[in-house]
Amino acid sequence: MIRYASGLLLVACVAVPCVASAQAPWRQVYKDTDITVVFDTASVVLQSPGTWTTVTSWDYSRARILENKKQYTRLVERAYVRCSPVRVKRVRSTVYAVNNVLVRDEGEVDPRDQAHMVWDRPKPGTAGKNAFETVCGILTRKRSGSALIPAKATPKKATSVKPPAKKKPAGK
């Protein structure tokens, strides 16, 4: 019984740090005294070559005020992102107050309207520019063991390479 328990303890001590070191789906991509921005790597979808759907959460240290005078401290945003140069189409915004109380959900922009939306370039020196540059760094990193692989990326179709046909000798 003691052997079994010590073996189980050994497995637990080895397995738990391995699980704890796995990459969390939400990664911090920007932080300053006013804002912390985290990026949901688990929800990334490759829309088309070079365009991803992303979800980011913008947590403010001080409450912000909407035009209807309601306060919020968190903005969760779904956006299409292109990375060279960084461009963004914001297609859904939801704001929350303290303790994640929903303040307002703008809903998804209609896909017919999305086609006519302009790709915004974040202003240099802003939290948005810094955050989306980091997001793009994650999205475009070469695929390796620790790199992000978009959730719905379709693999390239395998093509067979045929050797060139041999010419028949003349006169035979």
Residue 41, pLDDT above cutoff 50: yes
Query: What is the band of 27 on the pLDDT scale with cuts at 50, 70, 90?
Result: very high
Question: Each residue of 2-11: pLDDT tens digit?
Answer: 554 444 444 4
d(CA 52, CA 4): 49
pLDDT: is 54 or 154 the higher one?
54
Asked whether 92 and 77 are in contact (CB, 8 A), the reply is: yes
CA-to-CA distance for 148 and 75, rounded, in angstroms? Answer: 24
- AA letter at 116: H
Pick 165 or 41 by higher pLDDT: 41
Question: Looking at domain 22-140, what is its CATH homologous superfamily?
Answer: Surface-adhesin protein E (2.40.128.710)
Tokens 């978009």 — which residue?
150
Could you count the other beta carbons within 10 Å of the beta carbon of residue 148? 20
Which secondary structure element, helix H or strand E, spans residue 12, and what is its range?
helix 2-20
Question: How distant, in Å, are the alpha carbons of 9, 40, 76, 102 from that of 92?
Answer: 47, 15, 8, 14
- The per-residue pLDDT for 140 is 86
Residues in the chain: 172
- Under the banding of pLDDT at 50, 70 and 90, the label for residue 23 is low
Q: What does the pLDDT read at residue 34?
A: 95
**What percentage of the chain exceeds 70 in pLDDT?**
68
Residue 140 and residue 83 in contact, taking contact as beta carbons nearer than 8 Å: yes
Alpha carbon distance 41, 26 (integer Å): 6
Among the ranges given (19-28, 75-84, 89-98, 158-167), the one the predictor scored with the smallest mean pLDDT: 158-167
Please provide the average confidence, as pLDDT, over all residues in the chain: 80
For 92-149, write each residue's pLDDT tens digit: 999 999 999 999 999 999 999 999 999 999 999 999 999 999 999 999 884 333 444 4
Centroid of chain to Cα 68: 30
Q: List CB contacts of 170: < 8 A, sequence separation 6 or more.
A: none
